[in-house]
Structures are given as C-alpha cells and as structure tokens.
C-alpha cells in the first residue's frame, strides 16, 4: 500500500509491520470482517421473517398449513445445522440452473445427471463463467444468506410460537368479547406483548448466529477464521512477508472481536428488554415498576 513497501526484504521493525498489515491479503481479511457483519445484519431480519411466517403457520386453524409450519420447525431443528448449510445452497443452485437449462437449452439431448456430475448447457450456468468475480462472490453470499435464514428461521419460529402462546388467553378472549375478530385480536393484543416473552430466546439465537458465522467457509466464502489460519501460519521464502507461526495471535484477535460483538449485543438486548417490559404485566415489567416506585 505504501511506496516504501516495494521491497519487503529490506524492511525491519515497525516499518515491516506496517507493510505487512496493509498487504493485499490482509486487506482481504479486513473485507471479510465486513462480510461477516453484513451477513449478521441481513440474516437476523431474514431469519425473523422466516420465523414469524413459520410461527403463524404453526398456529393456523387450517390443518394443512399448521402441519407444514410445524414440519418446517421440527425438520430444521431436528437435523444438524451443517447439513442444511451444505444442502440448501447446493439444492438451490442446481435447481435454478436446471430451470434455466430447460428454458435456454430446450434442444439439449444429453442428460443433466451424469453419475455424480451435474452438467447443464453453458448458457444456463448461474452466474456465467465470464461474469466478474464480484458477481460470483455476491451469488455465493446470497446462497449462504438463504441457508442461514432457513436454519435460524426455524429456531426463531419455535421461539415466536411459544411467545405467542405465552400471552394470557384471557386478554384475547376479552378482546374478542369487545367485538374484535381473530386478526384484530392478534394484531392489537398478542403481537405487542409477545416480544417481551420472545426476546430472551431471540437474544440467545442471535448469539448462536454470531458463533455460526465461521461456517461461511463451508459455503465457499473466505471468512475471517479462514484468513486468520492462512495469514497466521508460518510462511516460507516464497512469501514476501515471511514470519513464524503467528496463528495464536490471529485467533486471539478473533477472540477479542467476537467477545466485543457479543458484549455490545448483550447491552443492546438489555436496553430493548427494559423498553419492551415497561407497562407490561410480566415479571420484568413488575420489577421496573418497583424500581421506579
């Protein structure tokens, strides 16, 4: 990055370190930190959306819809997460390419399945081999985001379903006695109060989501754990910046990064819990009333 970094072998001390920490590979590691934060920023609301839909389906009076919602919750929660993280991107990728293959190459006579290989016509590849590198990266990131949303959406659905059931039924019955229909009672009574009961479970789910971000490497995305292992390992003379095994320092930096992230998250959830509990007929709401008195 700096002009004096042209010949790394002639550098020493802090000058060498400044060039080492601003090398191209380190810039890719810093970019991977932003990738992880972007995944968390998008996966959390996406999983909450899937979870809310799953919880509503699990509460549906329609037996087919209810079975589908409960099946989604039970299936994803009952299968190891890594299986879905590997299956969902592969299944979605091959499904999109197969549909694109049928549309773009209707005259293709060779089978798509050839043993263990999945081969479609070149025009059906998503993305195209000639596409820019950032297009391939964005596509891989979108598949990873979908996998995270599906997996953690099932856990969120179970949490939200329990929170909806925790709202006293007497309040719902009172609302219906005043003339509200089922949808109005849900929107005006259950929905405002369920978040107080759901927040502890959702906060735990957020912490698990943070710890699951290193699984990005399984989906073809080079995350910060990958770069910490690669950059921290001992280098040979073929590398411009040779050094001993520094993996312990890189992983120590990751430890601090994740601890700071979880500490900030705990403070945010604590303030959110106090705000949602204000005026609610719950244990935390009663504690706030006593403290204010």
What pLDDT is recorded for position 110? 83
Domain that holds residue 145: 3-292
Q: List helix spans (H) across the chain.
A: 13-21, 24-58, 63-78, 81-104, 133-166, 169-177, 182-185, 191-212, 224-232, 247-277, 283-292
- Name the DSSP letter for residue 96: H
Q: Could you give the number of structural domains in the chain? A: 1
In whole angstroms, what is the distance from residue 62 CA to residue 231 CA? 55
What pLDDT is recorded for position 246? 87
Q: Which residues contact 248 (CB under 8 A, 6 or more apart)?
A: 232
Q: Are 148 and 42 contacting, i.e. CB atoms less than 8 angstroms apart?
A: no
In DSSP terms, 117 is beta-bridged to: 114
Mean pLDDT by 10 residues, the chain (293 residues): 69 78 84 91 94 91 91 85 84 90 85 82 85 86 91 92 87 84 85 87 92 82 86 73 85 92 92 75 60 61
Q: Are 185 and 220 contacting, i.e. CB atoms less than 8 angstroms apart?
A: no
Q: Are 149 and 43 contacting, i.e. CB atoms less than 8 angstroms apart?
A: yes
Q: Model-level pTM?
A: 0.84
Q: Which residues contact 80 (CB under 8 A, 6 or more apart)?
A: none
What pLDDT is recorded for position 157? 93
Domain harbouring 190, CATH code: 1.10.3720.10
- Name the DSSP letter for residue 110: S
What pLDDT is recorded for position 20? 80
In whole angstroms, what is the distance from residue 104 CA to residue 268 CA? 49
């Amino acid at each position: 990055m700096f002009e004096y970094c042209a010949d790394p072998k002639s550098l020493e001390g802090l000058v060498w370190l400044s060039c080492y920490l601003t090398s191209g590979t380190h810039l890719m590691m810093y970019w991977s930190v932003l990738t992880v934060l972007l995944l968390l920023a998008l996966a959390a609301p996406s999983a909450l959306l899937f979870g809310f839909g799953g919880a509503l389906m699990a509460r549906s009076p329609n037996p087919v819809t209810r079975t589908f919602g409960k099946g989604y919750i039970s299936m994803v929660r009952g299968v190891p997460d890594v299986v879905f993280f590997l299956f969902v991107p592969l299944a979605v990728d091959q499904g999109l390419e197969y549909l694109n293959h049928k549309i773009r190459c209707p005259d293709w006579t060779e089978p798509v399945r050839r043993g263990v290989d999945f081969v479609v016509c070149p025009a059906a590849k998503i993305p195209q081999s000639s596409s820019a590198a950032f297009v391939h990266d964005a596509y891989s990131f979108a598949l990873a985001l979908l996998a995270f949303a599906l997996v953690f959406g099932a856990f969120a659905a179970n949490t939200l379903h329990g929170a909806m059931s925790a709202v006293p039924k007497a309040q719902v019955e009172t609302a219906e006695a005043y003339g509200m229909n089922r949808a109005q009672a849900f929107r005006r009574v259950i929905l405002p109060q369920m978040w107080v009961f759901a927040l502890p479970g959702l906060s735990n789910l957020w912490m698990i989501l943070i710890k699951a971000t290193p699984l990005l490497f399984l989906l073809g995305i080079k995350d910060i754990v990958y770069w910490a292992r690669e950059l921290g390992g001992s280098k040979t003379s073929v590398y411009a910046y040779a050094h001993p095994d520094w993996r312990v320092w890189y992983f120590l930096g990751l430890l601090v990064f994740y601890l700071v992230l979880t500490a900030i998250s705990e403070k945010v959830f604590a303030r959110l819990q106090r705000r949602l509990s204000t005026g609610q007929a719950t244990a935390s709401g009663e504690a706030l009333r006593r403290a204010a008195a």
